[in-house]
Structure 1
Amino acid sequence: MDLHDFDDSELYFEHPLDPEAQALIEAASSYYGEAAAEAERCLLRAHLIAPRHLSVLVALYRFYYYQHRYDEALRVAEHALETAGAALHLHGDWRSLTVSAIAAAGARSMNMLRFYLLALKGSGFLCLRMDRRAEAAERLGMVTAFDPGDRLGARFLLLMAQGVDRLPHTT
């Protein structure tokens, strides 16, 4: 399974979004630099309107990440994982993923599966930023287990989480 294969399913940002929520996301971007509190209010209002829409969750995640509010960004990433997981019929926690469940999810939507694994990678990166290395390694290890070709680029982050000082030399 190549995680760079695109299928005919919509990408997360192509799913129709309530116009009011879209307007709030756009308003948030105009407030971002000078009025972060107002930007956050807009994003939280958009989240109230469309709490399971991935465009809203991505916007909220990015806001918290760029504000260096990693705990909040991690909560949003976990909500995005749950939302994408439900769409893929991945039941339970990401820790319980199996090869057969991932294969079935890829058959449903490779685009959504890629989003799911990238959200898991992002949550691992956040754990790494918060110096929660064991948790980061667990999350990133799961991504690399299902992406042996490292198409999503989690391997380097996993090595960092594991405390590897240098990348292994490959020839």
Structure 2
Amino acid sequence: MDLQDFDSAHLYFDEPLAPEVAPVWPAAEQYAEGTAEQPLLEAQALAPDDLTVLVGLYRFYYYQHRYEAALQIARRRVEVVGPRLLLPANWSEIDAGHVAVAAERGIGLLRFYLLALKGGYLSLRLGRFEQGKAMLLKVVELDTDNRLGARLLLDVLAEHSAEILIFPTAANAEIRP
């Protein structure tokens, strides 16, 4: 199974946006701007399982260097998509058999799920090395061809484990004009 072979696959953004979100979505789409949080939270309150809304929130928090919040959204993405793919509730229990079934249900959604799990990178950024490493190891185990690039993150972690520095979060980062 090639996780890059999704040309004809159904992707999360192919799903129609929940109609109740439409009034707030134009402002929420500005997730690269600092002003999008409130509309995104309103959209999430209106449609908590909408994948486009969850991606918008994830990107907003990531671009704002709010990694804890981004990691929470990545977890929510896993919670929402996992049942649709018939995956175990606990990501650490997923094996190749589960992935084969999930791929049959939708390779695009499987990629979406695994990329959310690759959010273990955020755990690394937050100094939670064991958690982040475990999440990335699971992605590498399931993505044997390394099509999602998680192996590189583990290689960098292994190569620099003695030199790891904790990156500042948005709350304590120096802001320069």
TM bracket, shorter-chain basis: 0.7 to 0.9
Residues 83 and 89 in structure 2, CA contact (< 8 A), matched pair in contact too: no
- Structure-2 residue corresponding to 1:152: 148
Structure 1 residues 87 and 31: CA distance shift in structure 2, 3 A:
closer
Does 1:105 find its partner at 2:85?
Answer: no
Identity within the alignment, %: 45
Higher helix share: 1
1:60-79 equivalences in 2 (<5 Å): 60-79=57-76
1:126-165 equivalences in 2 (<5 Å): 126-161=122-157, 163-165=158-160
Secondary structure of the structure 2 residue equivalent to 1:4? coil
TM-score by length of 1: 0.86
State the aligned residue count: 161
TM-score by length of 2: 0.83
CA distance in 1 between counterparts of 2:125 and 2:43 reads: 27
- Structure-2 residue corresponding to 1:169: none
Q: How big is the shift at 1:28? A: 2.8
Q: What do residues 60-111 of structure 1 show as CA deviations (whole Å, max 9, x unaligned)?
A: 0111111111111111000001111111011321011011111111111111
CA RMSD of aligned residues (A): 1.9
Q: How big is the shift at 1:158? A: 1.4
Stretches of structure 1 that go unaligned for 5 or more consecutive residues are 167-171
Q: Which amino acid aligns with 1:67?
A: Q
Q: How big is the shift at 1:50? A: 1.0
Residues 62 and 73 in structure 1, CA contact (< 8 A), matched pair in contact too: yes
Question: Which 10-residue stretch deviates more, 11-20 or 88-97?
Answer: 11-20
